[in-house]
Amino acid sequence: MRSRWRRNADGDGLAALPEQAVLAIVAEQLSEMSGRPFELENGRVKGPGSTAVVLAKRPDHAGGDGHLDLDFVLNVDRPQDTTITDCVAGYGESPEAKVRQAVEMWAGTTVSAVLELLAQNGRFAAHLAPDDPDGLPGWHAIHGGVIGWGTGERYEAASQWLGDHAVLPDLAPALTGEPFERDHLIGVKVFFGSTDGTDTAEVRVNGRVHPAASQALRDIAWPRTAGSTYARTFILLVHGPEAH
């Protein structure tokens, strides 16, 4: 299958830095990636126009060391309808290194899809039409980049597979339920991999674990290797059948 959204990064997610320090790293990464200014403002990262990024505090998803909840808000005047929710973890030898890698992973997957929504020029991510065989039937989707990490000779096996394999059709039968009550701007995070035969597979829809889709992901024959291999991507479902 053609690889239309492949984007890999090396690495292993995250320790506690002061919130302002984390936001400063987010602003730096987004400014460099987009070529437009993202700046600290009133406890958030203010982007061009009505956009902003905030560090979310979700008591039901505290995570642990090496974990961030990040919300990309497309319109700060309508956050309920325009917030793209995600979480990410990074790895490194220092708190700053962990934060930087987490933000890089988030930027390479989630932010790539969001920036493409704003740019609409194919620079940041791939568009999948509602009838595209690689997409989700009935939905216009923007497929963000692929990030991979792990250990051993085949640490890139999961990300290489994800870069070459359309995962949305495999998940489509399971992608139903409460998170799809919103008919636009639905974020789907796909994260999977294995370490010496122990599998991890997680699909989050609008920031919440989707059990059926996670099980469908676990059932796919993606590569399991000696050592560890993990991959992550993010797909933004822009609008559903009601909008066509």
**pLDDT at 168 (0 to 100):** 97
Half-sphere exposure of 145 (CA within 13 A, CB side): 20
Q: What's the average model confidence in pLDDT over 80-92?
A: 93
Residue 176 banded pLDDT, cuts 50, 70, 90: confident
Q: Is 87 helix (H, G, I), strand (E, B) or coil?
A: strand
Residue 233: name the closest of 151, 149, 155 by CA. Answer: 149
Q: Contact, 202 vs 192, CB < 8 A?
A: yes
Domains of the chain, by residue range, sit at 19-243
Residue 146: name the closest of 222, 209, 215 by CA. Answer: 222
Residue 122: name the closest of 239, 3, 5, 31 by CA. Answer: 5
Top pLDDT among 180 and 162 is at 162
State which amino acid sits at residue 105.
M
> How far is 168 from 230, CA to CA, in rounded Å?
18
52-56, 63-67, 107-111, 156-160: least confident range:
63-67
The tens digit of pLDDT for each residue in 195-209 reads 998 999 999 999 999
Cα of first residue to Cα of last residue in the chain, in angstroms, is 28
> How far is 192 from 218, CA to CA, in rounded Å?
8
**pLDDT at 64 (0 to 100):** 52
Half-sphere exposure of 32 (CA within 13 A, CB side): 10
Task: Give the largest CA-CA distance in the chain.
Answer: 49
pLDDT over 70 at 84, yes or no:
yes
> How far is 22 from 96, CA to CA, in rounded Å?
8
45-54, 59-68, 180-189: least confident range:
59-68
Distances (CA, A) of 175 to 71, 127, 145, 179, 234: 22, 19, 20, 9, 14
149-153, 174-178, 209-213, 214-218: least confident range:
174-178
**pLDDT at 191 (0 to 100):** 98
pTM of the model: 0.90
> 């909840």: which residue's tokens?
69
In the DSSP assignment, the letter for residue 32 is H
